[in-house]
Structure formats: C-alpha cells, structure tokens
Amino acid sequence: MTKWEYMYAKAYKEKIEEINGKDVGVFKPQGFLGGIMEGQPEVSEFLEKSGQDGWEVVGICPASEGASYWRLILKRPIS
C-alpha cells in the first residue's frame, strides 16, 4: 500500500505566502507602518518546482480569509 505525505500551501494574488503553516519570504519594512514581503514564489513557479520534486496537486479551494486567498493541497508518495 502506498503511503503519502502532504503539503499545504496558501496563495494570495499569484504568490505563495505559506507552506505547511510557515510564512514564505522576508518582510521588508517600508515607511512608518508599511512594508512588503520579498522572496515569495509565483504560484506557477511553486507548482513547477513541486512537480519536479514529485508533488501533485490533489485539491484547491478558497481559504477562509477571502476570495483572493487559495489553499492548495499537494501529495507525493513516501519513498
């Protein structure tokens, strides 16, 4: 019987923000109260790299934070 490992990613407006509950990228402060995140991959780049590493998308759904957030569920066999 095949055993699987799973990965969960949260995307916001074509960028991956979290993988398995951990933030992706580095926050760079700008101005008094603002800032931007750097180093977040595009969704297409993330999926391409994940596919090369043996992951496949098995689910996608809107995240509860709003329509611009998406949860991606991926799996791959445990070797």
The radius of gyration computed from the CA coordinates of the chain, to the nearest angstrom, equals 14
With a pLDDT cut of 90, the percent of the chain lying above it is 66
33-52: average pLDDT: 90
The backbone torsions φ and ψ at residue 43, rounded to the nearest 5 degrees and listed phi first, read -55, -45
19-40: average pLDDT: 85
pTM score of the predicted model: 0.81
What is the pLDDT, as a whole number, of residue 48?
97
Model confidence pLDDT, tens digit, residues 44-76 = 999 999 999 999 999 999 877 667 889 999 999
Domains of the chain: 4-77 (3.30.1410)
